[in-house]
Amino acid sequence: MTPTKSSRPFEEAARAIMYRWTAERDTWVSAEEIAEARAFLQTVGIATTELPDGRFALQGAESTVEASRLILVSLRHLYERRPRGS
């Protein structure tokens, strides 16, 4: 399945996710956030595939990941791309 294009950039979703994960201590992610993360990863050259069991395969990875781990991978790539000092 190909990730769908979201109406908001992943950067906005990332802020909401980080707030929820740090303030509320809740690692739940919505289907829309997953789609946004997958679309973002696609833009940085990492293809993802949703598996029948709900996990995801990432291009170049040897193991599969749950949705929250997919978000963590996306956040890592997002923050690595930010200019230093931001």
**First-residue to last-residue Cα distance in the chain:** 34
pLDDT at 80: 83
**pLDDT by residue (tens digit) across 32-81?**
999 999 999 999 999 999 999 999 999 988 889 999 999 999 999 988 87
Find the largest Cα–Cα distance for the chain: 41
Phi, psi of 41 (to 5 degrees): -60, -40
pLDDT at 26: 79
24 pLDDT above the threshold of 50: yes
